[in-house]
Chains A and B, each alone.
Chain A
């Protein structure tokens, strides 16, 4: 087998050194009746060429030749080949979590740069090294708010990505959290009045998304004001990070949960992506996940380490802020490289092109008879339209279905 670096003679030599007669002897602690006698029934072994052919065949059974306008939390933005060249360097690709700081300064410094970029983008003071994705980051933001407030009621806007809300409900079910949904207005934005009514002194967090699931940009500042006046945390989910190239960041939020897929990561049928939690400095000790921090070595040189580990499961066990261990480091590195490549002007220009193309697509669609815009509100690169059914027998004039369109 090409991945295994031992000759039969070397195996024998090593067995002899151990003092074992056969390899079977090394497995003697497994009760005999549980040891497999037959080979596993799985396909292979395949040569490299066969492996490639198998996946090329599968790739051909997918959406080749189609253009998608799907969006909804996964976006196909332009990416530079440089990003992939960097993240495929073995030193990044095949390195472990940087617990041994002296020989992982490369990874540690890139995490520090990632944290900085995430702060700059979101207008927050601190950001972590990554979470699994936007959906679990949103849930972790709520759990963080629960720890900070000691309260257990959560108000989530119904305009938040439905799968993010579902994930939150899965986690909430057993932790005593009570999740309630806040409706949206005819403009597709959070119903501020309904929020005001629901806000009591038992609310831990209010969660909104901007741009929201309909693509509409929420006005965060007034929502943050009423939320914080009730002593609750204002948490903002961001599923489309490129929006931050043009749209004001939710600096007033207490916690931001962002999906980083838009930053150089391919759609990959839904993952792996990179979530992130950003927040205020005073809340850092309740943040989940890893953090890289700057420090000095014994000779005064700048270096980086994983820090504030007393929040984490490997130290704190059942008292940890989260159970997360492995996160999405390589995806976070891809985002770091991609954003560095785009830079200040590139990100702005990408956002500007997204905005322009979405505006153009909407104006063209509205020229088609029977197409109507669902929400008359500012949007970034996604919007919803409703199409009157032409084939319905009982034409009530009401829209039968809406389809999400993205540039």
Chain B
């Protein structure tokens, strides 16, 4: 055992097959209360041709087996609850447990979206307060809580821009997107019916404002900008960028993925952004859950308000709240029902716990990133030297000389007891190491991470093989991704029956 590995040690975990392989006819894990009405005859009620026989291969196991199966699988995961999760751009912060508790309350989890609004005032008040808090944090005028995730919010935001421009007579053709942007930006622009034009970053990693001036023509509907950028650097000339766009009748879309660097310190609305989405599963701590659910509210300036997706939350006389399903200029509905309410509830619980203190969280997040940057500068190459906000991007240039790349370093980090940082992104940094510690890490945890990163750099110089073949301590080693894509096996199938096998 490498004595430099302080955070982790090997431990036994249980083997476990697929649930389908444990199945045995006649076992069950759930019993319903006895039927208290006459039993219907399915053949008669449905008609014989609609009737299904049993589902082949469906699991048949007992309750203890279900519990053990999923508990064993859970132990094969790394999670924030186990330690630092420095995935850049993903804002893996602590997910407070009280938020799970309140989301499951009777009267919250049990509510049906079509129940009368007089019987939904509690739900609607939650939505209203969350709207107010997010407007205050973003400095915007209006908001929709409908979108289910960040990319869904991006689409909603671009449709708002499109509807606004269309109303003025011309939706325009292009959306400008920096080369450092998340992949969702260009993918979304296409769904909103726009062509994508890439804009190059200048040598400091910022948007090249002079070039931008030339690129903003009458064809441009909007610029999608991430601020701080995916390099973790604040776009200092953003007010000027907004002016350039506005002068040509175009709008500024801000991707709020990195809002954890700004909340309580500055407001995108004040900086000139016209519309932005927030990833509540990033900045506002709703659990990532292995890839969702999220929520992607979209905040906007007044000019875009008439186009918000329905339903729209409105305040009636006497303070009564209502969801209105029809608005003449609305872009329409982006999702059934009233947004990912269960996620929105958790985000509000998070905000209420901090109050104006969200600023402290932002400060700690930026402090952690800068601390790590300072300690690792010179150990890893820093391709862009402008001040870091909530995350820092290094490159593997120094380790590459020994044949060790960012993915190798990331995999070796696993042996040291950490989840890897984000690898090979943003695309403008070859061999990027994108590190976002968030405010949830103590100095002690940051120090352990720094030590691990230093130890790996040393290994890369002296015994690169151990890094290149990492991880060494996980239950599976590097997996054959090429093989998985070449001959996809995407589901379990029952083993062939003997008679078939004999054919």
Taken together as a complex, chains A and B put the C-alpha atoms of A172 and B213 apart, in Å, by: 32
In the complex, what residue of chain A is closest to B39 when comparing beta carbons? A356
Is A110 an interface position by the 8 A CB rule? yes
**Inter-subunit contact A78/B108 (CB<8 Å):** no
* B111/A31 in contact, CB under 8 A: no
The residues of A that contact B19 with a CB separation of less than 8 Å are: 113, 340
> Is B234 at the interface (CB under 8 A from chain A)?
yes
Cβ of B161 to closest chain A Cβ, rounded Å = 11
- Complex: A344 Cα to B61 Cα, angstroms: 9
List chain A residues, Cβ under 8 A from B112.
Answer: 63, 68, 70, 74, 76, 267, 269
Which residues on A sit within 8 Å (CB–CB) of B490?
112, 115, 126-127, 284, 291-294, 307
B150 at the interface (CB under 8 A from A): yes
Q: Tell yes or no: A229 within 8 A of B by CB.
A: no
Cβ of B230 under 8 Å from chain A: no
Of A59, A84, A92, A297, the contact of B77 (CB 8 Å cutoff): A92
A104 and B77: CB pair below 8 A?
A: yes
Interface segment, one of A50-58, A147-155, A198-206, A386-394: A50-58
| Cβ–Cβ contact A268 & B108, under 8 A | yes
Instruction: Assign chain A's interface to a size class.
Output: 35 or more
Smallest beta-carbon distance A298→chain B, Å: 4
Q: Judging by beta carbons under 8 Å apart, are B59 and A340 in contact?
A: yes
Residue A186 CB within 8 A of the other chain: no
Q: Does A231 contact B (CB under 8 A)?
A: no
Q: Which of B297-305, B335-343, B398-406 contacts A (4 or more CB under 8 A)?
A: B335-343
From DSSP, what is the main secondary structure of chain B's interface residues? loop
Query: Which residues from chain A contact B332 at a C-beta distance below 8 Å?
Result: 166-167, 169-170, 173
Chain B 440-451 against A: per-residue CB contact (8 Å), 1 yes, 0 no?
111101100000
Within 8 A of B (CB), among A279-337: 284, 290-299, 301, 303-305, 307-310, 312-318, 320, 322-331, 333, 337
CA distance A312 to B90 in the complex (A): 17
Closest partner residue, chain B, to A218 (CB atom) = B50
Interface pair B18/A112, CB less than 8 Å apart: yes
Instruction: State the CA gap A347–B53 with chains docked (Å).
Output: 12
A344 touches B342 (CB 8 A): no
User: Smallest Cβ distance from B78 to chain A, in angstroms?
Assistant: 4
Instruction: Contact check, A58 vs B32: say whether CB atoms are below 8 A apart.
Output: no
The listed residue (B29, B82, B182, B351) touching A340 by CB distance below 8 A is B29
The 9 closest A-B pairs by CB, nearest first: A44-B355, A59-B107, A270-B337, A330-B289, A90-B81, A174-B193, A61-B122, A272-B293, A329-B291
26 chain-A/chain-B pairs, Cβ below 8 angstroms:
A1-B357, A6-B364, A13-B443, A17-B374, A18-B374, A19-B374, A30-B266, A31-B236, A35-B265, A36-B267, A44-B351, A45-B354, A46-B353, A62-B120, A86-B71, A126-B490, A167-B335, A175-B193, A270-B338, A296-B483, A327-B149, A329-B292, A329-B293, A342-B30, A353-B35, A357-B35
